[in-house]
Chain A
């Protein structure tokens, strides 16, 4: 009688005291998550490396929050095959750091555990995180990952080339496709030996979701079950983005010039004047600031056809593998890593490091709404009359206007289907409508099969 009463009593007392607790079922055994319980033992983390002050500061914070836990890192990007094999052999890592677009695949196959109890037990408010990011890590009715970092796209342009052509960054921010087409025509330059200046780079294949959304279409339904690749708005978006390349001699010419640039060096496309404008992810602002601080740059948000800022969110997420030997420590670790205070400490470290180098702090997109706001308020200076301040403002605006593709059990196949279609168009093997119709069939078949298999499990 004591055996049955004691846990009930503890639970009742805990609930009455308002203590956060969660209980998850793991291989038939209950896993208790409790913010007030100490955690100990080993914690093996796969896919994360504390490569910079942001990572190291947060790792230190996690160490302080869990002094009795021995954290070991399997560094480098998550090796999906290694991870899945480890799960299948019953010896998974205790925690993984994955791309958010992998969560659906892992969750649907039962490779990671739902975090609902972890969130409840540790008192993690998932509502603090950006909704599009949470959508990427939610599968079925559960949250399977805690998101962090947000990559968003902003418009980057060469101010000198724009001025020479009598243009403004508003002509290339995507809000007016006719204006973008006209600007591309003005900005690109061809010499005897081929294209010498790319006017506008629509960044295909990877940015098709962005162009489609700008045209009012999602590639995938919100429930992750229905592909919309043959939606007329998607086809129109692809036709527009491909026509940008055709105007410049075809994708081959643009890609050859793009690939020949010193992307991460002082000879980058903006510094060398070989690119007019493109939408691109905000992390490149730091690179440009580091390697070519005097390059003639102009920034704005990327905008949809109604003129509203728009960005396709991507980033990372923490997830606990099914069969993790120390899920309690894993949950505490991810809670600490994504907590507002931890992010503030990391931002302080980054701001100090940048100040030491005499460079501006260009912000930090954490995916934690509260942390983003406080970091922007405390550490980011947007009052200076500089293009870098423009970039920061554009970045934070984009961060507030993101969308994402929902998690689904055929993440990789769906992505491969639409990317293959775009590539076939870029390689001149199919027209946009034809390629996207074929991709629709392939993608929908993959989704239907994967959802059916998930339902059987």
Chain B
């Protein structure tokens, strides 16, 4: 009888254990490479730490200092403005291209590849490209504007045009979002359009009343992911204005939050302060994502929802 009970127990434990065993490698990696560094950065944010010497506990000094540091406010503002303009534009361009691609016939495959190719370009190279394409004197963008009689600005040095220039360049990598939206578009049932056509709905009406609601989960995903990405924007702006492209020239208009965080952590070796900045960013992104989730309940339509 005892053996039978043990066998029964083994049978009941195995199904419960198996999933954990399957995800154990990932859990281990997550614990070591993500959870532990995140928790440790929380501790470091309460210390003065220069990488070489032992962390010195300073309580909440780093957090207090952040509120007194005008550059933190400037970097947050720059990042906020960039996000508010870049994300909607990025999503709109992605959607427009996905809609066009959805209608493309034989060339669709080629265009899908073409849209994705820029995503393969290293961001550092894009940063250098920014300086070339947006050069106020001989840049391609101003050359293009010149065809229409428009005297383009100094995109890379005029503080008012630095962020617009970077936003334009960020559209270079819409390819992945285009593919996500295209996949969603392909999943919209054709009969919905057929019914709308029979009812005499215009193309614009079909797009706004059928297409957009039906792909709203994908749109929401693209918005959330790109919002987080925009708050973490770094490489292109750093390369163009603070790194290899310009070792000494910089522009405060391009001082995004993560760039300032990087400077504090890896150029000035204020790891404690940089950690505190990272936690503030986490908090900001978490709040914004939460707001997006709340708003999404009204705007995002999931199949199967009542």
Bound CA–CA A80/B268 (angstroms): 11
Known: A194-B137, A253-B137. A429 touches B269 (CB 8 A): no
Known: A256-B154, A256-B156, A413-B268. A419 touches B52 (CB 8 A): no
* Chain A residues closer than 8 Å to B176, beta-carbon distance: none
B158, A252: Cβ atoms under 8 Å? yes
B128 CB to closest chain A CB (Å) equals 11
Known: A205-B248, A427-B159. A416 touches B136 (CB 8 A): no
- B305 CB–A CB distance under 8 Å: no
B135, A256: Cβ atoms under 8 Å? yes
B79 CB to closest chain A CB (Å) equals 18
B263, A416: Cβ atoms under 8 Å? yes
A457, B53: Cβ atoms under 8 Å? yes
B269, A251: Cβ atoms under 8 Å? no
From B52, B132, B157, A255 is in contact (CB under 8 Å) with: B157
Q: How many residues of B contact A (CB 8 A)?
A: 30
A109, B267: Cβ atoms under 8 Å? no
From B137, B159, B248, B268, A260 is in contact (CB under 8 Å) with: B137
A408 CB to closest chain B CB (Å) equals 13
Mask: chain A, 260-274; 1 = CB below 8 Å from B; 0 = not? 100000000000000
Bound CA–CA A257/B159 (angstroms): 18
* Chain A residues closer than 8 Å to B249, beta-carbon distance: 205, 255, 423, 426
Bound CA–CA A109/B48 (angstroms): 13
Q: How many residues of A contact B (CB 8 A)?
A: 38
* Chain A residues closer than 8 Å to B263, beta-carbon distance: 416
B252, A427: Cβ atoms under 8 Å? yes
B51 CB to closest chain A CB (Å) equals 4
B250, A84: Cβ atoms under 8 Å? no
Bound CA–CA A303/B251 (angstroms): 30
- A412 CB–B CB distance under 8 Å: yes
Bound CA–CA A429/B56 (angstroms): 37
Bound CA–CA A191/B137 (angstroms): 12
- B202 CB–A CB distance under 8 Å: no
* Chain A residues closer than 8 Å to B138, beta-carbon distance: 256, 260
Bound CA–CA A257/B52 (angstroms): 43
Bound CA–CA A257/B154 (angstroms): 11
Known: A260-B135, A412-B267. A84 touches B51 (CB 8 A): yes
Bound CA–CA A349/B249 (angstroms): 37
Query: A438's closest neighbor in chain B, by CB?
Result: B70
* Chain B residues closer than 8 Å to A424, beta-carbon distance: 252
* Chain A residues closer than 8 Å to B250, beta-carbon distance: 419-420, 423
Mask: chain B, 243-268; 1 = CB below 8 Å from A; 0 = not? 00001111111000000000100111
Q: Give residues 120-144 of B contacting A (CB, 8 Å).
A: 131-132, 135-139
A80, B266: Cβ atoms under 8 Å? yes
Q: Give residues 418-437 of A contacting B (CB, 8 Å).
A: 419-420, 423-424, 426-429
Known: A205-B249, A419-B248, A429-B159. A84 touches B137 (CB 8 A): no
A427, B251: Cβ atoms under 8 Å? yes
* Chain B residues closer than 8 Å to A110, beta-carbon distance: 52-53
- A247 CB–B CB distance under 8 Å: no
Q: Give residues 377-393 of A contacting B (CB, 8 Å).
A: none
Q: Give residues 68-109 of A contacting B (CB, 8 Å).
A: 80-81, 84-85, 87-88, 105, 109
Known: A255-B156, A256-B156, A426-B249. A81 touches B137 (CB 8 A): no
Query: A208's closest neighbor in chain B, by CB?
Result: B248
* Chain B residues closer than 8 Å to A410, beta-carbon distance: 268
Bound CA–CA A326/B263 (angstroms): 32
- A298 CB–B CB distance under 8 Å: no
Query: B158's closest neighbor in chain A, by CB?
Result: A252
> Can you list 16 residue pairs at the A/B interface with Cβ under 8 Å?
A109-B52, A109-B53, A205-B249, A251-B157, A252-B156, A253-B154, A256-B156, A259-B132, A259-B137, A259-B156, A260-B139, A412-B268, A419-B250, A423-B252, A426-B157, A453-B50
10 more A-B residue pairs beyond the given contacts A109-B50, A252-B157, A427-B253, with a C-beta to C-beta distance below 8 A: A205-B249, A255-B157, A256-B138, A259-B135, A259-B156, A410-B268, A413-B268, A419-B248, A427-B159, A453-B48
